[in-house]
Amino acid sequence: MEKDNLILKEFLDNAFNLKSHLMEFFSMKECDLDGFLANAKMNLANLHPGEALSDVSDFYTDIVGDRHVADLATWHITSKDYIADTLKLQQRFSKNTVLDFGGGIGTHALANAMSTRVEHVFFVDINKTNRNFVEYRARELGVDKKITFCQSIKDTKMSKFDTIVCLDVLEHLADPASQIEIFNEIMKSNSIALFNWYFYKGEKNEYPFHIDDDQIIEKFFTTLQSNFLEVFHPILITTRAYKRIR
Ligand SMILES: C[S@@+](CC[C@H](N)C(=O)[O-])C[C@H]1O[C@@H](n2cnc3c(N)ncnc32)[C@H](O)[C@@H]1O
């Protein structure tokens, strides 16, 4: 418990040294950091080619570059209380072998790796810059032996996980229903998955990369409700905890 509180405090104090990691990893001076983080959300949105994009995953592999790191870093710094609540949620459920799917800048994977209840974290992200940045952060924070970095779930070579963390990712996928079916297959009967989603492009199209197609969303909820049972938690956030129904 005390260790959990220390991890939360470290995140709330400095987001696990995020700013210094950004400056060191991207060889940036302190005076350039604000520019890197400023307008990150709109800069990322403006990169999106709209309808011209035929494969959604190309956006995350080929187009975003370091813009997603900037966007996620700004979000984790400016919404630190919200992110801290998602870390509290992880602390309630994470154990043994953890898959962090779409791990971004690594906040959740790093916090899980710091936890004594977690044996190993598999950080999966389609974006190479994100993987390299979080690998660097894990070394700096001394938890690199507890994290393996992979481009896909298949690359982890693991057949089952005790915990799955998939936060703010499902709305970025062409077929979120298929993704949670895959999660279902790699969970044990007592595994827990933490999911949230935001199937909305925003009032001013701030999130042009989010899926908002009615049929895709209906298929997602049908799959979710037929394969997973929600496990109650008292934290007032949209992220939900699930176990397998069968
Ligand atoms: C909005 S970010 C969320 C990051 C992190 N989970 C968080 O809560 O801060 C979405 C992440 O999903 C990754 N991603 C998108 N499509 C993916 C895919 N098909 N497989 C793995 N990662 C993917 C992106 O590269 C990005 O890091």
Cβ–ligand 1 distance for 102 under 6 Å, the answer: yes
Cβ–ligand 1 distance for 126 under 6 Å, the answer: yes
Cβ–ligand 1 distance for 79 under 6 Å, the answer: no
State phi, psi for 13 to the nearest 5 degrees. Answer: -70, -45
Per-residue pLDDT of the chain (246 residues; tens, 9 = 90+): 799 999 999 999 999 999 999 999 999 999 999 888 988 878 887 888 877 777 888 888 887 778 889 999 999 999 999 999 999 999 999 999 999 999 999 999 999 999 999 999 999 999 999 999 999 999 999 999 999 999 999 999 999 999 999 999 999 999 999 999 999 999 999 999 999 999 999 999 999 999 999 999 999 999 999 999 999 999 999 999 999 996
pTM of the model: 0.96
Task: Compute, in angstroms, the gap from residue 245 CA to the centroid of ligand 1.
Answer: 26
- Determine the atom of ligand 1 nearest the C-alpha atom of 127: 25
Q: Which helix (H) or strand (E) holds 3?
A: helix 2-14
CB 64 within 8 A of CB 145: no
Which stretches of the chain are DSSP H helices? Answer: 2-14, 18-25, 30-37, 40-47, 56-58, 67-78, 80-93, 107-114, 128-140, 153-156, 176-185, 214-227
- At position 111, the amino acid (one-letter code) is A
Cβ–ligand 1 distance for 72 under 6 Å, the answer: yes
- Determine the atom of ligand 1 nearest the C-alpha atom of 72: 9
The pLDDT value recorded for residue 246 is 67
Q: Residue with the nearest Cα to atom 18 of ligand 1?
A: 126
Query: Within 13 Å of residue 50, how many CA atoms lie on the same side as its CB?
Result: 2
**DSSP string over 168-213:** S-GGGSS-HHHHHHHHHHTEEEEEEEEE-------TTSS-TTS---
Cβ–ligand 1 distance for 147 under 6 Å, the answer: no
Strand 240-244 vs strand 228-231: parallel, antiparallel, or unpaired?
A: antiparallel
Task: Compute, in angstroms, the gap from residue 2 CA to the centroid of ligand 1.
Answer: 30
In whole angstroms, what is the distance from residue 126 CA to residue 151 CA?
A: 5
Asked: is 2-244 a CATH 3.40.50.150 domain? The reply is: yes
Cβ–ligand 1 distance for 124 under 6 Å, the answer: yes
In whole angstroms, what is the distance from residue 98 CA to residue 120 CA?
A: 6
Residues 6+ apart with CB under 8 A from 33: 19, 22, 23
User: Which residues share a beta bridge with 230?
Assistant: 242
Cβ–ligand 1 distance for 173 under 6 Å, the answer: yes
Q: Residue with the nearest Cα to atom 9 of ligand 1?
A: 104
The ranges assigned to domains in the chain are 2-244
Task: Compute, in angstroms, the gap from residue 210 CA to the centroid of ligand 1.
Answer: 11
